[in-house]
C-alpha cells in the first residue's frame, strides 16, 4: 500500500504562484486567477508572467524565482511543452505542490504521454507532488481557495469530492449551490500522473473537516489500492462513488476519455459493497444522496413510516419503498390510537398515513411526530412537508372588482400559510435531532426551495418520493455495512 | 364493450351551475368557483345558493331551477347527503353532466357506498352522466374551464390527462406549468361511480385537440375494457400510464386509497405492452415522458448519437443508454471526416462525440447537425445545448477596483453568451423539423429554463442525461408498438 500523502498544504496553502497569468479573458490564465480573487482567497496570490507588471490590481512577477516570500503551491496554465522547465523553477523555489491545469498530455496520445512522464520525473527530483495535468482545479473552504475553471463559488460545508472528470465534478458544485449543499474540499484529479483518487480518498478519510466523501471515477482496478483505502475510510465516514463506464458502451467512452479500463460492472459492484463504498448509478442520485448523508443521521434499519396529504402520493411512495428494499410496516394499535385523535374518523389507519386532504399544518406536524416516535420505524418520509412555490404570487389579477379583491386576499392568506411553513421545517429538524431518525420531506413542488429547506432549517427535501426513497436506500445500505463485522485486511 | 360516451359537452360547456357557492374562503364552494373565475371561463357561470344574492360580483341563484338560461354542466360541492336530491333538480333542469366534488361517498365505507349507489341510480333516471364523486375537478383549455381545487391554471397545450388520484393529477399540471408543458383537458376521476378511466381514455382517443394522453391509475383489471380501449387508442396517439400499486406494499396502500385491487405487476406489464400503453414507473418520469411525446416526433429506432462538451458526461450518457436499451453506434468514416473539420486534431473520433471542453456555440451546432444528419442514428442527445442558469448574474461584486471592473465585464460577456443560447435552441428545433429526429438537450443546469426551452423554442431539455435517456427510451418502446402488426381484437 502506498505511503499516506499529507495533502494539508495543497488544500490549505498560505501562498500561491499562479504561473501563466494572462490578460486575455478567453484564457484559463485569466479565468482561474479571476475565480481565485472572486473567491476571496485568504492567502497570498502571486501572478507570474514576464510580460505583465500587474494583474487585476495586484503585482505580477516575471518568474517564480522573483516572488519575494515563500510559496506553498504553484498553479500552471501555460502550454504543455513549457511545463517541465517550470517544474524546475518551482523546485528551485522550494514549492512542494504543483497543480498542472494545462492539457495536451497523456489524454491526447503518445507524444503527450511522453511529456507527462517527463513532468513526473522532474517533479520527483524536487519532491514536488503534482495534481493533474489536465485538471479543472481545486477548491478548499478553509482557505477560501477557489482555483476552478468555471465561475462557481461553492457553498461551504462538510462534503469533500474527488472527480476523474472535471466537468462532472464541477457540476456537482453547481448543483450543491442550488440545493444548499456545502463542500469542504474538491479536486478534479485530471490525468492522475502523480496524485490519484486513492490519495485524495485517504486524505479526505483522515481529514476532520470532511464528513462525507463523494467521488466520480471511471477507471477502478478491483484489486487496487483504492479499494484497500476505501475499506478503512468507509468505517469512519460514508464514501459515495458514482462510477462512469459501468457498461460496455460507457466503458468504451471512458477509455477514450480518461483512458480508464472498465472493469466488469458485476465484479466491481461486489468489491464496492465489500469495501463499504455506497455506489451511485445516476448523476442526480449522487447529489441527492450527498444531501441526506451530509445532513441526517444514518437510520438503524430499513423500516419507513410514510405521511402523505393525498392518497395517491402515499401509494407511489409505498411502491418506491418496496422496489428499493425499504419496508413499510403496518401501524400498531398504539400509533393508531394516537393518530385517531388527530385525523378524521374515516382515516385509513394504515401506513402510509393519509391525511385525507387535510392541509392544516398543526395536525401534519403531530402525525409526523407520532411516526418519528414510533419505535418500529427507522425513518420517516413526509410528503407535503414543505409547500413553498405552490402559489403564484406574481400572477396577473383579472376579473370583476370583487374577484380582484378576493384574489389579492387569497394571495395574502397563501403567503401567510407559506410563511408558517418555516414552523413545520423547524419542527422537522427538531424531530430528527430528538429521535435520531431521518425525517425526509418530499415537497412535490418543482422549485429550489430545497436550498432554504436545507440551509436555513437543516431539513432534507426532494421534489419526488422516488428520489427521497432512493437517497434513503443508500443510507440503509451504508448502515448494513457499518453493522457488518470488520474484515481482516 | 361499453358504448362510446360523448363527453364533448362535459369538456366544452357553455354554461355551468355551481351548486354550493359559498362565501367562506375555506370551503371548496368558494375556492373552486374562484378558480373558475380566475381561469376566465368562456361560458356562463351560475352560482347556486339560496342564502346568497351574489357571489364575487356575479348574481347567485336560489336553486338550479331558478337559473334563467339552459345549463350544460352542474358542479356540486355540498355535503354528500344533499347530493341525491340535487341530482333530481339537475335532472328537472335538463342538465346532462354533473361533477360531484363532494366527498364522503364509497371512499369512507359502506354507508357512503350506499349513498353513491343512490346517486348513480338517480342520475340514471335522468340520463345524467356523473364525474366523481370525490373528484378534484376538471380542466379544459378550449373553454378556459378551470374547475379545480388547487389554485393552478394550466398552460394550454395538446396533452390530456385522467387521474385516479386528484393530488397526483394536479401535481402534473403544476409540473407542466414549471416546464412549459401545456394541457388540453384534465379530469380527476374520483370514485368513478359512473364515468371511469376507460371512458376518458376513449374520449381523449377520439378528441382531435388531444395529441398525447396521460393517466395515473391504481386499479386495472388486466381483462378490463380499459385495455381493449387502449389497444385502439394507442395506434392513434401515445398513451402514457403511471400505475400506482405495482408492489404488494403499494397495492395495500392503493386498496385503502381508491379501493383498487392491485393486479400482479408482471401480468399487467405484459398486458400494457401488448395494448401499446407506455408504462411509466416514476412520477418525475411521467412528466419527463409527457414532455418529449408532446413536442418531438417518435424516433424510427433506438440508435443514438451523443454530443458532449465534456468527456465524463459522455461516459455517463453512454452508460445510461446501454442500461435503458438504447444503442450508441460507432461513427462511420464519413461522419468522422465531417467532424474532423470542426474539432481539434486530438478529438476522440468516437460516439459520444466529445467537444473536449470547447465551449463555443458555432462548432457545437455544427456537430449537432452532423449527428442529426447521420443516417445510422434515430435521435441525438446534445449535452450542454442550453446553458442558461450557469452564471450568477446577481452575485455580489467584491475585491480591488480592477477586479470589480473585470467581474462586471465578465458578467456582460456571460450574459451575451447566454443570449446566444437562443440561437442554439432555434437551430436545434430546426434540426428536429428537418430530420424528423428527436434532438434532446441536456442542460445539466439545475434550473427551470426548461420552460422557455420548450415554450419559446420548441426544444425538449432535461437537467440530466439519465432523464433524457429514460424519456427517449419510452419513445423507442412506443415506436416498437407502432411497428408491430395490428392484433385481432
**All residues at 6 or more sequence positions from B80 whose CB lies less than 8 Å from its CB, including other chains:** B102, B103, B104, B105, B112, B115, B133
Nearest partner of A100 among A121, A74, A65, judged by Cα: A74
Domains of chain B: 1-137 (3.40.50.720), 154-295 (3.40.50.261), 298-481 (3.40.50.261)
Cell of A431: 424531530
- Residue A489: all three cell numbers together: 485486511
In angstroms, how far is CA A350 from the centroid of its own chain? 36
Q: Which three cell numbers stand for residue B364?
A: 457545437
SS3 call for A465: helix
Report the distance separating Cα B157 and Cα B185, nearest Å: 9
pLDDT at A3: 47
Q: Nearest by CB to A310, from B34, B167, B406: name it.
A: B167
Which one of A254, A319, A389 would you mutate to disrupt binding with B, by most B Cβ within 10 Å of its Cβ?
A319
How sure is the predictor about B405, in pLDDT bands with cuts at 50, 70 and 90?
A: confident
Please tell me the predicted confidence (pLDDT) of residue A446.
59
As given in the structure block, the three cell numbers for residue B127 are: 340520463
Give the percent of chain B with pLDDT over 90: 70
Which residues in chain B are closer than 8 Å to A327, comparing Cβ atoms? 249
Q: What is the predicted pLDDT for the residue at B1?
A: 41
Using an 8 Å CB-CB cutoff, list chain B residues near A169. 312
Q: Are B388 and B443 in contact (CB under 8 A)?
A: yes
With contact defined as beta carbons under 8 Å apart, do B20 and B78 qualify? yes
Supply the pLDDT for residue B488.
58
What's the pLDDT at A447?
Answer: 58
Q: What is the distance between the alpha carbons of residues B335 and B337, in angstroms, rounded to a whole number?
A: 5
Distances B227 to B136, B213, B218, B268, B272 between C-alpha atoms, Å: 25, 14, 14, 10, 7
Q: Which residue has the higher pLDDT, A389 or B147?
A: B147
Look up residue B265 and give its three cell numbers. 405487476
The owner of cell 471512458 is A254
Residues facing B175 on adjacent strands? none
Radius of gyration of chain A (CA): 26
Q: Which of A25, A309, A311 is opposite residue B410, by nearest beta carbon?
A: A25
Return the closest-CA partner of residue A297 out of A434, A428, A437: A437
Residues of A in contact with B57 (CB under 8 A): 399-403
What angle, rounded to 10 degrees, do the helices at A166-179 and A283-295 form? 50
CB contact under 8 A, B314 and A253: yes
Determine phi and psi for B88, rounding to 5 degrees. -55, -45
Over residues B448-455, mean pLDDT: 78
Taking an 8 Å cut-off on Cβ atoms, the answer to whether B58 and A400 are in contact is yes
Give the residue from A34, A154, A315 with the most B CB atoms within 10 Å of its CB, the best one to mutate: A315
Q: What's the pLDDT at B289? A: 98
Question: Which pLDDT value is given to residue A221?
Answer: 73
| Residues of chain A positioned with their CB less than 8 A from the CB of B282 | 320, 464, 466
Q: Which residues of chain A have pLDDT under 50?
A: 1-3
pLDDT-derived band at B403, boundaries 50, 70, 90: confident
* CB spacing of A249 vs B447 below 8 angstroms: no
Neighbours of B380 (CB within 10 A): 30
State the DSSP string of B230-283. Answer: HHHHHHHS-EEEEES--SHHHHHHHHHHT-PPPPPHHHHHHHHHHHT-EEE-SH
In angstroms, the CA A145 to CA A124 distance is: 25
Chain B CB contacts of A465 below 8 Å? 283
Q: Say if residue B472's pLDDT is above 70.
A: yes
The minimum CA-CA distance between A91 and chain B, rounded to whole Å, is 30
Please enumerate, as own/partner, the contacts of B103-111 that have beta carbons within 8 Å and a separation of 24 or more. Answer: B103/A357, B103/B133, B103/B134, B104/A346, B104/B79, B104/B80, B104/B134, B105/B80, B105/B133, B105/B134, B105/B191, B105/B193, B106/B134, B106/B191, B106/B193, B106/B259, B107/A346, B107/B134, B107/B191, B107/B258, B107/B259, B108/A346, B109/A346
- Torsion angle in degrees (nearest 10) through CA of A186, A187, A188, A192: -160
* Contacts of B326 by beta carbon, 8 Å cutoff, 6+ apart: B302, B303, B304, B469, B472, B473, B476
Residue A393 CB burial class (10 angstroms; 0-12, 13-18, ≥19): exposed
For A118, the grid coordinates are 517527463
With H, G, I as helix, E, B as strand and everything else as coil, classify residue A329.
coil
Whether residue B310 and residue A410 make contact (CB cut-off 8 A), yes or no, is no
Given the C-alpha cell 424519456, which residue does it identify? Answer: B471
User: Which of helix, strand or coil describes residue B347?
Assistant: coil
Interface touch A168/B398, C-beta < 8 Å: no
Q: Give the nearest chain B residue to A329 (CA atoms).
A: B249
Confidence band (pLDDT; 50, 70, 90) for B3?
Answer: very low
Query: Measured between beta carbons, which residues in chain B are less than 8 angstroms from residue A150?
Result: 390
| Minimum Cα–Cα distance from A360: chain B residue | B26
Average pLDDT, chain A: 90
**Integer Cα distance of A101 and A80 in angstroms:** 9
Residue A387 pLDDT: 54
Whether B391 shows a pLDDT value over 80: the answer reads: no
Contact A282 B464 (CB under 8 A): yes
Cβ contact B56–A357 (<8 Å): no
Cβ distance A348 to B312 less than 8 Å, yes or no, reads: no
Query: Helix A83-93 vs helix A110-126: angle between axes, to the nearest 10 degrees?
Result: 10
- Chain A's closest residue to B311, CA to CA, is A257
**A91-121 pLDDT per residue, tens:** 999 999 999 999 999 988 899 999 999 999 9
Q: Count the neighbouring beta carbons within 10 Å of the beta carbon of residue A16.
A: 26
Checking if the pLDDT of B264 tops 70, the result is: no
Q: Which of B174, B311, B392 comes nearest A257 by C-beta?
A: B311
* DSSP 8-state secondary structure symbol assigned to residue A284: H
Does B125 score more than 80 pLDDT? yes
Q: How many CB pairs under 8 A join A and B?
A: 269
* Cβ contact A354:A348 at 8 Å: yes
- Looking at A160-174, B67-81, B400-414, which range is the least confident one? B400-414
DSSP state of B327: B
Q: State if pTM tops 0.90.
A: yes
A359 closest CA partner among A323, A322, A384: A384
Greatest extent of chain B over all pairs of C-alpha atoms, in Å: 83
The separation between the first and the last C-alpha atoms of chain B, rounded to the nearest angstrom, is 11
- Reading the block at residue B266, the C-alpha cell is 408482471
At residue A135, the pLDDT reads 96
* Coil vs helix vs strand at B426: helix
Which residue among B37, B320, B445 places its CB closest to the CB of A403?
Answer: B37
Which chain B residues contact residue A464 at CB under 8 A? Answer: 282-284
Q: Dihedrals φ, ψ of A358, to 5°?
A: -75, 120
Residue A167 and residue B312: Cβ atoms within 8 Å?
A: yes
Residues in chain B within 8 Å Cβ distance of A104: 346
Going by C-alpha positions, the residue among B236, B306, B257 that lies closest to residue B465 is: B306
- Residue B394 has a pLDDT of 66
**pLDDT at position A488:** 58
B310 with A258: Cβ contact below 8 A: no
∠ Cα B82 B86 B89 (to 5°):
155
Asked if residues A262 and A250 have their Cβ atoms less than 8 Å apart, the reply is yes
CB under 8 A, 24+ apart: contacts of A111-119: A112/A80, A115/A80, A115/A81, A115/A83, A115/A84, A116/A191, A116/A193, A118/A84, A119/A83, A119/A84, A119/A87, A119/A193
Q: Which of B110, B312, B355 is the best residue to mutate to test the A interface, defined by the most A CB atoms within 10 Å of its own CB?
A: B312
Give CA–CA dist A321/A247, Å, rounded.
26
SS3 B330: coil
pLDDT score of B2: 46
A178 and B403: CB-CB below 8 Å?
no
Amino acid at each position: 500500500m502506498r505511503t499516506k500523502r499529507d495533502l494539508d498544504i495543497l488544500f490549505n496553502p498560505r501562498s500561491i504562484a499562479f504561473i501563466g497569468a494572462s490578460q486575455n479573458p478567453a484564457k484559463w490564465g485569466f479565468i482561474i486567477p479571476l475565480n481565485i480573487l472572486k473567491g476571496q482567497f485568504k492567502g497570498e496570490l502571486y501572478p507570474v508572467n514576464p510580460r505583465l507588471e500587474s494583474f487585476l490590481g495586484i503585482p505580477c512577477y516575471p518568474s517564480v524565482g522573483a516572488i519575494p516570500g515563500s510559496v506553498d503551491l504553484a498553479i500552471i496554465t501555460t502550454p504543455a511543452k513549457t511545463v517541465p522547465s517550470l517544474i524546475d523553477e518551482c523546485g528551485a523555489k522550494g514549492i512542494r505542490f504543483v497543480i498542472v491545469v494545462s492539457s495536451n498530455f497523456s489524454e491526447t496520445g503518445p507524444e503527450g504521454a511522453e511529456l507527462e512522464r517527463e513532468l513526473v520525473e522532474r517533479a520527483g527530483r524536487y519532491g514536488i507532488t503534482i495534481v493533474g495535468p489536465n485538471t479543472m482545479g481545486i477548491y478548499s473552504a478553509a482557505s477560501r481557495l477557489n482555483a476552478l475553471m468555471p465561475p462557481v463559488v461553492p457553498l461551504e460545508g462538510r462534503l469533500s469530492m474527488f472527480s476523474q472528470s472535471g466537468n462532472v465534478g464541477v457540476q456537482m458544485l453547481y448543483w450543491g449551490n442550488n440545493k444548499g449543499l456545502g463542500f469542504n474540499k474538491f479536486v478534479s484529479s485530471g490525468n492522475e500522473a502523480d496524485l490519484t483518487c486513492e490519495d485524495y480518498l485517504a486524505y479526505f478519510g483522515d481529514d476532520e473537516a470532511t464528513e462525507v466523501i463523494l467521488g466520480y471515477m471511471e477507471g477502478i482496478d478491483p484489486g487496487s489500492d483504492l479499494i484497500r483505502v476505501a475499506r478503512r475510510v468507509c468505517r469512519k465516514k460514508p464514501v459515495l462513488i458514482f462510477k462512469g463506464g459501468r457498461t460496455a458502451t460507457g466503458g468504451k467512452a471512458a477509455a477514450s476519455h480518461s483512458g480508464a479500463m472498465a472493469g466488469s460492472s458485476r465484479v466491481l459492484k461486489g468489491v464496492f459493497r465489500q469495501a463499504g463504498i455506497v455506489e451511485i448509478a445516476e448523476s442526480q442520485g449522487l447529489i441527492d444522496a450527498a444531501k441526506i448523508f451530509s445532513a441526517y443521521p444514518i437510520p438503524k434499519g430499513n423500516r419507513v413510516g410514510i405521511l402523505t396529504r393525498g392518497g395517491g402520493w402515499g401509494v407511489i411512495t409505498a411502491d418506491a419503498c418496496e422496489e428499493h428494499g425499504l419496508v413499510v410496516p403496518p401501524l400498531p394499535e398504539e400509533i393508531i390510537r394516537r393518530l385517531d385523535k388527530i385525523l378524521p374518523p374515516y382515516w385509513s389507519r394504515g401506513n402510509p398515513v393519509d391525511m385525507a386532504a387535510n392541509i392544516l399544518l398543526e395536525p401534519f406536524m403531530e402525525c409526523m411526530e407520532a411516526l418519528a416516535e414510533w419505535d418500529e420505524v427507522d425513518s420517516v418520509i413526509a410528503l407535503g412537508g414543505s409547500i413553498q412555490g405552490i402559489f403564484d404570487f406574481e400572477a396577473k389579477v383579472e376579473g370583476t372588482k370583487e374577484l380582484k379583491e378576493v384574489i389579492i386576499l387569497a394571495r395574502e392568506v397563501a403567503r401567510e400559510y407559506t410563511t408558517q411553513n418555516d414552523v413545520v421545517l423547524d419542527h422537522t429538524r427538531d424531530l430528527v435531532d430528538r429521535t435520531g431518525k431521518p425525517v425526509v420531506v418530499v415537497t412535490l413542488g418543482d422549485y429550489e426551495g430545497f436550498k432554504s429547506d436545507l440551509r436555513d432549517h437543516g431539513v432534507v427535501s426532494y421534489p419526488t418520493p422516488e428520489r427521497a426513497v432512493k437517497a434513503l436506500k443508500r443510507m440503509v445500505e451504508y448502515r448494513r455495512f457499518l453493522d457488518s463485522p470488520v474484515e481482516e485486511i
